[in-house]
Structure 1
Amino acid sequence: MTRHCSFIIPVLNEAPHIASVLQTLAERFPEAQRIVVDGGSTDATVAQALPHCTQLLLGARGRAAQMNLGARVASGDYLLFLHADSVPDFDMQQLTACLHGRPQWGFCRLRLSGRQPVFRLLEWAINRRSSLSGIGTGDQMLLLRRDVFERNQGFATLPLMEDVELCARLRQQARPRVLPLTVETSSRRWEQRGVARTVLQMWALRLGFALGVAPAHLSRAYYGRQL
């Protein structure tokens, strides 16, 4: 029997992408919940998402808070946290096979949408790093059993690195299941900011987080403003 899964997607001004992502989820995971949590979009995100999701919530801006809100109304045995520009490259049957044995938590492998060879190198590095460290990111579709998420009180309300922080806590309890499944994520961040600049920035942010730099300072460095 297929266990019920709930996709939780935090969004902010994602009108160009959200409808196609939700349509793909509906096709590949017809029995799963598709919960969209908007953090105050000023574009047509809500209008684009509404016909294609099973539930749309309006909440305070902040990815951690939005995902926690979505989790509170989700009914699935597994909570699947997915970014608005990421699409699972598999279906419910493949996912169900990977959830045999009821792993506590895990994440998928990453594939970037860009076609240039440099993106294949980035994919390899990110997947290798996450596999060795046991730290995944939202780009890789974090998945948690509901009881594990609730026991750990969800995401810490940080303006950045909320996924890294949660994985670090979960890793102390159990190693993640790195699923042999791929999630394709938009490479727009690297394309817009430049590959070298983005990689160096992410290394610096992770180092700063590990050294205890306040997440608010890291957020300003990443976004250029306070969220």
Structure 2
Amino acid sequence: MTEPAVPALSIIIPVLNESECLQASLRALQPLRQQGCEVIVVDGGSRDDSVAIAQAWADVTLPSPAGRALQMNAGAKVAQGDYLLFLHADTQLPAALSLTQLLHSQPSWGFFKLRLNSRKSLLPMVQALMNLRSSLTAVATGDQAIFVRRQVFIAQGGYPAIPLMEDVALCKQLRRLARPLVVADPVLSSSRRWLQHGVLKTIMLMWLLRLGYFLKVSPQRLHSLYYG
């Protein structure tokens, strides 16, 4: 009997009550599944239809304690791909992306430039500054679909088990090993939090959180500020 091929890429999506956007996001990944990509959805205790949607559109659906770091680490443990790509439920990869295009240079890790799905208010400036900052510092946000060779991720111990800034912490670990591959073709990310809470207010909050993290304020305290 022929052994099933090992996927080149496993896409890991942490979800918690994301039924409004999850089906569209998973549907957009079907061309990559046809190329041999594995899609894993890790549910943190949703009370909506997220699990049912995931079971219909993903290769693997599994439960986990809530928290993006915990959920992404749980997905990584069962992933089979040579590379892991961590994708938010409200973010879509470039429509024309191919595995060959993404992985041909065999990067240790990388992330995508970002495009927000709204042009309202100051969001074009926010988008430009986020892309500039991440390119200069080699530190991405989770919205930028961080990807990493699985063995490198395992060697680094995965995401730190903290409730916020896990993406920043991982990038700072990975950039000590190698510069990231920054994919110019952007992911499309939801602007819902920016619009819901106000762009200027959210900008100030994000800078406050980053300053707090730099000053070693506990991630638990930062989490309460972010979601409070």
Same fold (TM over 0.5): yes
- 2:25 equivalent in structure 1: 21
Among residues 111, 123, 145, which one is paired with 1:107 in the alignment? 111
1:86 paired residue among 91, 109, 112: 91
Equivalent position of 2:150 in the other structure: 146
Number of the residue aligned with 1:69: 74
Which whole-Å CA distance do the structure 1 matches of 2:137 and 2:52 have between them? 39
Q: Which amino acid aligns with 1:144?
A: V
| Alpha-carbon distance in structure 2 between the residues aligned to 1:162 and 1:171 | 14
Q: Is the 8 A contact 2:33 2:39 kept in 1?
A: no
Offset at residue 116 of structure 1 (A):
2.1
Whether contact under 8 Å (2:160, 2:166) holds in the other structure is yes
1:133 aligned partner: 137
Cα separation, 2, equivalents of 1:218 and 1:178: 27
- The answer for the alignment partner of 1:42 in structure 2 is 47
Greater mean deviation of Cα atoms: 62-71 or 176-185: 176-185
**TM-score for both structures, normalised by structure 2:** 0.94
Q: Distance in 2 between matches of 1:179 and 1:115?
A: 22
Equivalent pairs: percent with the same residue? 47
The CA distance in 2 between the partners of 1:103 and 1:69, in whole Å, is 23
Q: Which residue of 1 aligns with 2:3?
A: none
- Give me the TM-score of the superposition, normalised by structure 1: 0.94
Name the CA distance, whole Å, in 1 between partners of 2:172 and 2:166.
10
Aligned position for 1:53: 58
- Inter-partner Cα distance in structure 1 for 2:60 and 2:7: 19
Aligned mates of 2:199, 2:150 — CA distance in 1: 36
Deviation at 1:73, TM superposition (A): 0.5
1:98 is displaced (CA, Å) by 3.5
What is the alpha-carbon distance in structure 1 between the residues aligned to residue 97 and residue 191 of structure 2?
A: 25
Runs of 4+ in 1 over 6 A off after TM superposition: none
Contact persistence 1:90–1:181 (CA under 8 A): no
Rounded to whole Å, the distance in 2 between the matches of 1:184 and 1:205 is: 23
Cα distance between partner residues in 2 of 1:92 and 1:123: 21
Q: What is the deviation of 1:92?
A: 4.3
Distance in 1 separating the partners of 2:17 and 2:123: 25
Deviations 1:25-67 (A, max 9, x none): 0134422111000000111111122100110000111110100
Q: CA deviation at 1:101?
A: 2.3
AA aligned to 2:71 is Q
- Asked if residue 156 in structure 1 is aligned to residue 160 in structure 2, the reply is yes
1:190 is aligned, of 190, 194, 210, to 194
1:110, 1:123 within 8 Å by CA — same for their partners in 2?
Answer: yes
Give the partner amino acid of 2:215.
L
Unaligned stretches of 5+ in structure 1?
none
Structure 2 counterpart of 1:171: 175
Within 1, Cα distance between the matches of 2:218 and 2:105? 38
- In the alignment, the residues of structure 2 paired with residue 181 and residue 29 of structure 1 have an alpha-carbon distance, to the nearest angstrom, of 19
Aligned position for 1:214: 218
Residue pair 1:29, 1:92 contacting (<8 A) in 2 also: no
